[in-house]
Amino acid sequence: MVRQRSAKPSSAGSIPAVASIFTPPDFNFVSVVTSHGWYRLAPFRWSAEERVLRRNDMEISHDGKALRVVGNADREQIARMFQLHVDIGEFIVLTRSSAPHAWVEEHGFGRLLCAPTLFEDILKIILTTNVTWSQTVKMAANLVDVCGRKGAFPTPRDIVRFTPEELKERCRLGYRATAIHRLATGIADRSIDLDALSDPKQSTEELFESYLTLPGIGPYGAAHLLAMYGRHDFIAVDTEFRRFVRDTYHKGRKVSDATMLRRYAKWGRWKYLAYWAELWGER
DNA sequence: GTCCAGGTCGCGC
DNA sequence: GCGCGACATGGA
């Protein structure tokens, strides 16, 4: 057992590194963290009171100018998580002339919280398909508990240690276990190359098509993945989008997807973010 | 028991 | 290309 009692960090683990990572002027920490549901999925933990976002191996806060990261502060991963590389300037300009988006600029809305890795984002998107949110939360927690190491989100190698049946049974993944196992296997044996798939030199349309080749990822998931990449040309059409547009603009009447999407055409490469802002502002 | 949830896939036409 | 049913799970 550990007999360490002092406030000093245990000698077994290195002293936690502290890093400061500067953020763009239009960056709003709380807005990004709560931009969508990811902060409620393991291993993320969010304390609204402390304004601290935690994962198994890091603790992140913001002092107004920079992110303060205690623990494993891989800069590339931090930048990915908070979309620090995404320039939302053009979107902000557009919101100034749209009444439903009048609050966006002041609130600092525009960046979406991502996982440190594309793999984690893909899995979590699969976990959101055709289930209730409460089940998504449970499946993510199960994946971390059953397959992850020391509270971390499982890597492809961690997943491949289990059979699809074991994943289904122990993580309660349902039929999603097949796609998740195939994805992990493909990455582990290099038949799926996520870096090549998400090559930023590709056009958004090409990226979309690339994501569609991934097991468990259809048009909804591909659009969602693009958004995590800061590209909002495609709206992830799902029951939530249909409900919102139907109730907000069509008095609850049924309309085609094409009609719904037409409403956001004027937003150009910011369609999904524009819709997401409206949905977000509704709360 | 039935329906459905921030869908995806494979099949038949 | 497009429509349709199956697909695990758990809550309403």
Does the C-beta of A217 come within 7 A of strand B?
yes
The helix/strand/coil state of A245 is helix
Predicted confidence at residue A13, as pLDDT, reads 53
Predicted confidence at residue A10, as pLDDT, reads 46
Residue A201 C-beta-side C-alpha neighbours within 13 Å: 2
| Cross-strand partners of A71 | A58
Q: How far in angstroms lies nucleotide B11's C1' from the CA of residue A221?
A: 22
CA–CA separation, A117 and A238 (whole Å): 24
The torsion of the CA quartet A81, A223, A231, A99, rounded to 10 degrees, works out to -100
Predicted confidence at residue A88, as pLDDT, reads 98
CA–CA separation, A184 and A65 (whole Å): 37
Per residue, what are the HEC states of A231-263?
Answer: CCCCCCCCHHHHHHHHHHHCCCCCCCHHHHHHC
DSSP state of A250: S
Predicted confidence at residue A58, as pLDDT, reads 96
Query: For chain B, which bases have at least one atom within 7 A of a protein Cβ?
Result: 4-9
Query: For chain C, which bases have at least one atom within 7 A of a protein Cβ?
Result: 7-11
Nucleotide nearest A241 (Cα, C1') = B6
Q: For residue A258, what are the contacts with CB-CB under 8 A and spacing of at least 6?
A: none
Summarize pLDDT for A226-237 with one digit per residue, the tens: 999 999 999 999
Predicted confidence at residue A14, as pLDDT, reads 65
pLDDT beneath 50: ranges in chain A = 1-12
In the structure encoding, which two tokens stand for residue A52, read together? Answer: 């601290």
| One-letter identity of residue A57 | D
Does the C-beta of A14 come within 7 A of strand C?
no
Q: How far in angstroms lies nucleotide C9's C1' from the CA of residue A130?
A: 10
Summarize pLDDT for A147-159 with one digit per residue, the tens: 999 999 999 999 9
Q: How far in angstroms lies nucleotide B13's C1' from the CA of residue A266?
A: 36
Does the C-beta of A174 come within 7 A of strand B?
no
CATH top-level class of A118-228: mainly alpha
Predicted confidence at residue A191, as pLDDT, reads 97
